[in-house]
Amino acid sequence: MENSNNIKGIGGERMEKRLQISILGLGVIGTGVVEIVAKEGQKIKDYAGVELVITKALIRSGEDKADFAKQHSLQLVYDIKDITEDASIDVMVEVMGKIHPAKEFVLAALT
């Protein structure tokens, strides 16, 4: 039985979509999300026809996440504008763990 979420193009061929994601925070939850997407990405793509690609991660100044970012091909940014003003980002995931500044960042993304 074929998944009804598959996207069909002209002639019935399956179309693939790429979803570019940014993540706010690379703590325990943020790194876990990145690792799960990396590990399960092919299953998601096979099932839904959507390739999930986390391209940017917002971190606090002074955090050392360079090795993790390199391992997962992430661009580390320190300013929310590097995400909110990037037209290539389709989805922003907030996993910062505190109300402030997470609330302000989400509101900035919605405006």
pLDDT, position 9:
46
pLDDT < 50 stretches in the chain: 1-5, 9-11
pTM: 0.82
- Average pLDDT of the residues of the chain: 89
- Reported in sequence order, the residue ranges of the chain that DSSP labels E, i.e. its strands, are 17-24, 50-58, 75-77, 91-94
Helix (H) or strand (E) run with residue 36 in it? helix 28-48
Instruction: Say how far apart CA 83 and CA 22 lie, in whole Å.
Output: 7
pLDDT, position 27:
95
